[in-house]
Amino acid sequence: MRDPKILAEVKETLAILAERYPGKAIEVRVPPYAAIQCGDGPKHTRGTPPNVIEMDAQTWLQLFSGARSWADAYSDGLISASGVRADLSHLLPMKDLS
């Protein structure tokens, strides 16, 4: 079951990411809450995207706020990332941009 408060936070923060880093080259998934496409590069339209990042809601919100670094979350196995563009470390944290 999805927590409505977490759902709202995840959707709001992912929307900020998509606004600040527009495009369709990377799919960022935070199941079961939301997924977006963002980032410069080839547009993805069908099937499994070539650049996919997936993590749980707690990890995403920590990355967004700066409570956890990308490097630490990735090395702890909290981020699944595949593809040459599947790295958001240069964009996070974004707390000051919201």
Q: What is the pLDDT along the chain (98 residues), one digit of tens a residue?
A: 789 999 999 999 999 999 999 998 999 999 999 999 999 877 666 667 789 999 999 999 999 999 999 999 999 999 999 999 999 999 999 976 44
pLDDT given for residue 46 in this prediction: 67
CB distance 38 to 17 below 8 Å: yes
Q: Hey, where are the domains in the chain?
A: 4-97
**pTM of this structure:** 0.90
CA atoms within 13 A on the CB side of 21: 24
CB 52 within 8 A of CB 26: yes
Specify the pLDDT at position 43. Answer: 67
The architecture in CATH of the region 4-97 reads 2-Layer Sandwich (3.30)
Q: Which two tokens stand for residue 70?
A: 């990308």
